[in-house]
Amino acid sequence: MQIDRGVTRIGDTDFRWGSRTYIMGIINVSPDSFSGDGQPTLKAAMEWAKQMVDEGADIIDVGGESTRPDSQPITPEEEIARVVPFVERAAGKIGVPISVDTYKTVVARRAMEAGADLLNDVSGLTWGTGMIELAGKKNAPIVITSNQRDNPAQDIMNAVIGQLRELMEKAMKAGVRPENIIIDPGVGFGKTVEQNLEIVRRLDELKVMGRPILLGTSRKSFIGVVLDAPPQERLEGTAATTAIGISKGADIVRVHDVKQMKLIAKMSDAVIRGMKR
Q: How far apart are CA 128 and CA 88, in angstroms?
A: 24
Helix H or strand E segment including 270: helix 258-273
How do beta strands 13-16 and 7-10 pair?
antiparallel
Q: What is the DSSP code (8-state) at residue 204?
A: G
**Cα-Cα-Cα-Cα dihedral sign, residues 271, 158, 167, 218:** negative
Catalytic residue among 191, 220, 248, 262: 220
Options 191, 219, 248, 254, the catalytic residue: 254
- Residue 138 among the catalytic residues: no
Long-range contacts of the stretch 9-16 (C-beta < 8 A, 24+): 9/141, 10/59, 10/97, 10/99, 10/117, 10/118, 10/141, 11/96, 11/97, 11/98, 11/117, 11/118, 12/97, 13/58, 13/96, 13/97, 15/58, 15/212
Phi, psi of 254 (to 5 degrees): -95, 115
Distance CA 250, CA 246 (A): 5
Q: Which helix (H) or strand (E) holds 183?
A: strand 181-184
Is 254 considered catalytic here?
yes
Number of Cβ atoms within 10 Å of the Cβ of 166: 14
Q: Which residues are catalytic?
A: 220, 254
